[in-house]
Structure 1
Amino acid sequence: MFKKILVPTDGSEVGHQAAATAAQMASESGGQVVGVYVIDPFPYIGIGDASAVGLQAYLSDAKRVAGDALDSVANACRAKNVPFAGDTIERNLVWEGILETAKAEGCDLIVMGSHGRQGVKALILGSVAQKVLTHAHIPVLIVKG
């Protein structure tokens, strides 16, 4: 039924559960999975070399965390013999990055966790899952942790 499933991940346990769900669905329908990790931009202050060093350290750490999170999605897909492609992008708003990726990749379903690592911050600002549900033009499956 669904041929290209987007799995946004933040490396959380519920994100891993969403990846396993998406891999199972893709396996049953002959589909594929696209994983995405959205990095928040570096809070640039624009003063001297310290900013460049801080930026490099931030990006290095963010890319390492993103790689680990995407590896988890890739492993779930590998276990089900499902084709996988993953990417890390940088956006101010995570939910917009997810929806942009879904559109750019031609995905026909988004499978994501109900909550990630943001905890109380998500309660105050509104969750990424809620924003995706509100603005998506394709079906969204929320996996509860």
Structure 2
Amino acid sequence: MFRHLLVPTDGSPLSQEAVSRAISFAKEAGARITFFCAVQPAPKMYYGIGAIFDAHTFATYRANMVGAANEILDAAEKFAEEAGVQCGKTLLVSEEPYEAIIEAAIHNQCDLIFMASHGRRGVSGLLLGSETQKVLTHTSIPVLVHRSN
């Protein structure tokens, strides 16, 4: 049914568990995976008139963030390859991770987004927000949500 999964990951234990489950799901379905990581741009507090910073601060920040994202994606890719699942990886710089997830799914022509959720409810879910909830409400692509016990 599903042939190409987008699996967002941030390297957290919850996200790593979702990666593992997505690989099992893809293997059973004969699907391929594109692993995805959203990279946050430099914090806005560094912008503006009168800010004092090294001329290389933004480039260094971006290089560090992209490097960390690539380490996360490389680990997921290795795990999938060991399981015999065809995969790729991609990342985007975005202030809104949920928008980047949807954009990556569309760009890579994925027919399912497989992602983790903390399962927060009530006030904590409302106050903390949820990238998963935002993806669910802003995309027409099916989303499979993995919740940890």
Q: Unaligned regions of 5+ residues in structure 1, if any?
A: 116-120
TM-score w.r.t. structure 1 length?
Answer: 0.86
CA contact (8 A) 1:14 1:143 kept: no
Deviation at 1:68, TM superposition (A): 2.0
CA contact (8 A) 1:6 1:35 kept: yes
Task: Output one character per residue of 1:83-117: Cα deviation in whole Å (capped at 9) or x when no partner.
Answer: 111112101210000001101111011111104xx
Deviation at 1:18, TM superposition (A): 1.1
Q: Judging changes above 3 Å, is the alpha-carbon distance between structure 1 residues 125 and 77 closer, same or farther for their aligned structure 2 residues?
A: same
Q: Judging changes above 3 Å, is the alpha-carbon distance between structure 1 residues 67 and 123 closer, same or farther for their aligned structure 2 residues?
A: farther
**Percent identity of the aligned residues?**
35
- State the SS of the aligned residue for 1:50: coil
Is 2:26 the partner of 1:26? Answer: yes
Aligned partners of 1:28 and 1:97: how far apart in 2? 27
Q: Judging changes above 3 Å, is the alpha-carbon distance between structure 1 residues 30 and 90 closer, same or farther for their aligned structure 2 residues?
A: same
Aligned partners of 2:133 and 2:74: how far apart in 1? 25
Q: Say how many residue pairs are matched.
A: 140
Q: Judging changes above 3 Å, is the alpha-carbon distance between structure 1 residues 2 and 67 closer, same or farther for their aligned structure 2 residues?
A: same
When Rg is computed on C-alpha atoms for both structures, the one with the higher figure is 2
Match of 1:118 in 2: none
Residue pairs, 1:1-145, within 5 angstroms: 1-43=1-43, 44-45=46-47, 50=53, 52-115=55-118, 124-145=127-148
Aligned partners of 1:94 and 1:21: how far apart in 2? 21
